[in-house]
Amino acid sequence: MNEIIVRINLHVFKNETHVQFNEGIDSVFVKHNPQALGIQPLYVLYKDAFKNELDALDYISRSELTAKIVEQDRKRDSIYRGFVDSVKSATNHFEPAHREAANLTLNIFNHYGNIARKTLDDETAAINDLARELALPAPAQAVSLIGANVWLNKLVEENNAFSELMKERYSETAGKTSFRMRAMRAETDKFYHAMVSQIENQSLAGTVINESFIREINAVIERFKHILAQENGKRKTPVQEL
């Protein structure tokens, strides 16, 4: 098929980003008139599916645990940043041994990039991995020498508290809601891809496609591909973001 619309993997977006993507896409469809684009029947199905997705997301957002999760994530982010700052400060210690220990520890941090910018579940896993690595003999000795044990212990404590809140959210009821969200997203994606295919099939059949529409739809897609790259931590200089 002659691909005139940029491809994007919608499956890997976070729920909120997936909704924002479709809001941007929908605004372009509305502007250029689905009837004029030759996709009106599919567009109606797409809008119905997207409304169901919005309803599912709203149910999740209204969870009484949401505010607690957001606050706990903020707390562990603050501890993480304080931990990093304390290690950076120790790289200027007057004792060479302390500087060496701090640099060893900082190199381990750099391997993980900016943990606080990861998605919620990815951050939980990254902190767990970081803690396990810092518990190895050489890193553990280095952390102890620069007096950063209290930061590490507090980070593990706050991360565990966050993990417990997420387990509550993933209770049987919340789990069913998450399953419903996945199903609604899949329906939205199905009709989105169907509209893209319809437009490209029309192009192959000789129908003149509105060039302004193509530019605008691709601009939205490229913007969200960049957002996806940021969410996945694909940065050229992750170390500088600590």
Considering only CA atoms, which of 125, 117, 91 is closest in space to residue 105? Answer: 91
Residue 107 clears pLDDT 90, i.e. is over it: yes
Q: What is the pTM of this model?
A: 0.52
**Per-residue pLDDT band at 235 (split at 50, 70, 90):** very low
As a whole number, mean pLDDT of residues 102-126 equals: 93
Please, what is the Cα angle at 241 between 111 and 76, to 5 degrees?
A: 80
Task: Concatenate the DSSP letters of all residues of 171-215 into one string.
Answer: SHHHHHHHHHHHHHHHHHHHHHHHHHHHHHHHHHTTPPP-HHHHH
Q: Tell me: pLDDT of 63 over 60.
A: yes
**Mean per-residue pLDDT, 56-68:** 75
For residue 236, pLDDT over 50 is answered with: no
Q: Is residue 64's pLDDT more than 70?
A: no
Q: What are the domain boundaries of the chain? A: 10-62+172-238, 65-170
pLDDT for res 97:
96
Residue 3's pLDDT is 73
Question: What is the per-residue pLDDT for 119?
Answer: 87
Give per-residue pLDDT as tens, 147-191.
Answer: 999 999 999 999 999 999 988 876 645 555 565 788 899 999 999
Lowest mean pLDDT among 2-16, 110-124, 155-169: 2-16
Report pLDDT digits (tens) over 35-49: 999 999 999 999 999
pLDDT of residue 178: 60
d(CA 210, CA 32): 8
Q: Is a pLDDT exceeding 80 seen at residue 59?
A: no
